[in-house]
């Protein structure tokens, strides 16, 4: 029997406000355990929370960027459960009146993953297990979160990965979170079930908690879906439960029975007032939403002539996209600039985090100057590439690295002389070319470009060398 995957995601995104949701403690990542907390964070008797206005504004921006309706009236609720990472024995969250609802994110295949809600809540502390003991660090307790809850609309692992990547990119673009999964500022709970293909009924779901890596999320989904199918086909039944994923063994295991909403005994938090959002505030925040990734990709492809694959690489990092747009001001062919960024510049950047920061030695204005030299035919492509390498090393402008004598190309007589030298000094390449190895010509052209310091016209040199060999 063929089975279909049914997945819904609950994604927790830490907001990058300077202070926590109900107090003035810092939200800075790291620090010695229990140094970023106060009596309000840990819920000591006699303390009162006060809602951080910026948390509401950030959540509204997230809702607007994901096509949500913004509730004009919402409230905070207490979600009751007794785990040591929440010393109050409840979490302040939102239940029946969330701030944002009924949104969606559209995937590349046209499927719209519906968002049931986006609500605000406080994060819990962190449990650290060492040598049989458990320690609690409350630094993260009270850090503001938005929880983004989808409908069970995802039908494959690839769709789940694309959804998380798109959500991550949108949150970064609107500036509400860095979404660094490795630091826990974005975490996913995966609700997963299987059903016979074509069936309209949902199977029993399990929930895989706290996935902080898209790669591990995909592996966990693959394992869990196969486990459920094997269980069903052997005559067993899937139990609704909460699971943890072990990346070492690539298995899921039970943590506890899966709770439903009534298990948390939600009730309105009596210490916090109703949230009243005006039309004027929504309009003001809507005006701050930048061009979003999908819109930017379409513009790069349709208006700038950038290939789809290159456009996706440029929009993947907000700072790269901003850099690219400054670097192409007044440029005839933006694809040249895109090639320099995706090719030479990306090769010098070690990892994804560094691409997000994009702190390179070459300013957008200096890359623009280099491309203008190329387009005005003052320099050839080989010289432009070697100059960009030097710019990346030194931080200097192209005009500081290229002398007047380097500009203007090479006269035809000098080019012919260098081509003749290339043929004379590369007999093996000549023989290979004559035997049908077309690529052998490139080594001889390379000789000409190197000895002309990039000033020769590579196409002209190739044609001259071919005529000399024949």
Tell me which of 66-70, 95-99, 373-377 is least confident. 373-377
- pTM of the model as a whole: 0.83
Neighbours of 146 (CB within 10 A): 28
Residue 220's contacts (CB-CB under 8 Å, 6 or more residues apart) are: 190, 208, 211, 245, 252
Q: What is the mean pLDDT of residues 421-434?
A: 87
Q: Which two tokens stand for residue 2?
A: 């063929």
Task: Supply the mean pLDDT for the chain.
Answer: 91
pLDDT band at 413 (very low <50, low <70, confident <90, very high): confident
Question: For a pLDDT cut of 70, what percent of the chain falls above it?
Answer: 97
Tell me which of 254-258, 342-346, 443-447 is least confident. 254-258
Is there a contact between 163 and 153 (Cβ–Cβ < 8 Å)?
Answer: no
pLDDT digit string, tens, across residues 346-398: 999 988 888 888 999 999 999 999 999 989 888 888 888 989 999 999 999 99
Is there a contact between 99 and 70 (Cβ–Cβ < 8 Å)?
Answer: yes
pLDDT higher than 70, residue 39: yes
How confident is the model at residue 410, as a pLDDT? 67
Q: What is the mean pLDDT of residues 124-135?
A: 89
How confident is the model at residue 406, as a pLDDT? 61
How confident is the model at residue 269, as a pLDDT? 95
pLDDT band at 261 (very low <50, low <70, confident <90, very high): low
Phi-psi region of 306 (alpha: psi -120 to 50; beta: other; left: phi over 0): beta
pLDDT higher than 60, residue 10: yes
pLDDT band at 414 (very low <50, low <70, confident <90, very high): confident
Q: What is the mean pLDDT of residues 280-292?
A: 96
pLDDT band at 408 (very low <50, low <70, confident <90, very high): low
Is there a contact between 104 and 67 (Cβ–Cβ < 8 Å)?
Answer: yes
Q: What is the mean pLDDT of residues 332-339?
A: 96
Neighbours of 189 (CB within 10 A): 18
Is there a contact between 358 and 320 (Cβ–Cβ < 8 Å)?
Answer: yes
Q: Which two tokens stand for residue 458?
A: 């590579």
Interatomic CA distance for residues 312 and 424, integer angstroms:
45
Instruction: Work out whether the CA dihedral 200, 201, 202, 204 comes out positive or negative.
Output: negative
Strand-by-strand arrangement of the 112-122 sheet = 69-70, 100-106, 112-122, 144-150, 3-14, 186-196, 206-211, 241-246, 251-257
Domains of the chain: 3-286 (no CATH), 293-406 (no CATH), 412-469 (1.10.10.410)
pLDDT band at 267 (very low <50, low <70, confident <90, very high): very high
Is there a contact between 78 and 266 (Cβ–Cβ < 8 Å)?
Answer: yes
Q: What is the mean pLDDT of residues 340-347?
A: 94
């Amino acid at each position: 029997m063929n089975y279909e995957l049914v997945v819904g995601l609950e994604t927790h995104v830490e907001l990058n406000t300077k202070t926590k949701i109900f107090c003035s403690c810092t939200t800075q990542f790291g620090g010695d355990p229990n140094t970023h907390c106060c009596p309000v964070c840990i819920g000591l008797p006699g303390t009162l929370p006060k809602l951080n206005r910026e948390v509401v504004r950030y959540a509204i921006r997230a809702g607007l960027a994901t096509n949500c309706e913004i509730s004009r009236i919402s409230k905070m609720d207490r979600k009751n459960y007794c785990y040591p990472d929440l010393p109050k024995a409840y979490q302040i969250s939102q239940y029946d009146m969330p701030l944002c609802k009924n949104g969606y994110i559209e995937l590349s295949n046209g499927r719209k993953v519906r968002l049931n809600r986006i609500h605000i809540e406080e994060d819990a502390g962190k449990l650290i297990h060492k040598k049989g003991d458990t320690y609690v660090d409350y630094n993260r307790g009270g850090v503001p979160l938005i929880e983004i809850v989808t409908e069970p609309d995802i039908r494959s692992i690839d769709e789940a990965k694309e959804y998380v990547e798109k959500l991550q990119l949108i949150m970064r673009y609107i500036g509400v979170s860095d979404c660094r999964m490795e630091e826990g500022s974005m975490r996913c709970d995966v609700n997963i079930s299987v059903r016979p293909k074509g069936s309209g009924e949902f199977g029993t779901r399990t929930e895989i908690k706290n996935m902080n890596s898209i790669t591990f999320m995909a592996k966990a989904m693959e394992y869990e879906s196969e486990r459920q199918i094997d269980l069903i086909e052997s005559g067993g039944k899937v139990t609704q439960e909460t699971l943890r994923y072990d990346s070492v063994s690539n298995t899921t295991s039970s943590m506890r029975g899966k709770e439903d909403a009534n298990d948390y005994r939600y009730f309105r938090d009596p210490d916090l007032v109703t949230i009243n959002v005006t039309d004027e505030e929504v309009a003001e925040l809507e005006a701050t939403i930048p061009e979003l990734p999908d819109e930017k990709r379409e513009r790069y492809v349709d208006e700038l002539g950038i290939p789809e694959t290159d456009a996706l690489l440029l929009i993947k990092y907000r700072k790269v996209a901003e850099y690219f747009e400054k670097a192409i001001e007044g440029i005839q062919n933006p694809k040249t600039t895109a090639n320099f960024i995706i090719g030479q510049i990306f090769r010098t950047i070690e990892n994804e985090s560094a691409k997000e920061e994009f702190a390179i030695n070459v300013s957008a204005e200096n890359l623009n100057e280099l491309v203008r030299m190329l387009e005005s035919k003052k320099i050839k492509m080989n010289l432009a590439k070697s100059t960009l390498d030097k710019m990346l090393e030194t931080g200097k402008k192209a005009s500081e690295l290229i002398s007047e004598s380097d500009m203007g190309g090479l006269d035809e007589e000098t080019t012919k002389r260098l081509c003749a030298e290339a043929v004379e000094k590369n007999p093996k390449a000549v023989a290979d070319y004559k035997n049908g190895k077309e690529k052998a010509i490139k080594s001889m052209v390379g000789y000409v470009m190197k000895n002309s310091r990039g000033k020769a016209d590579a196409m002209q040199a190739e044609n001259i060398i071919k005529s000399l060999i024949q």
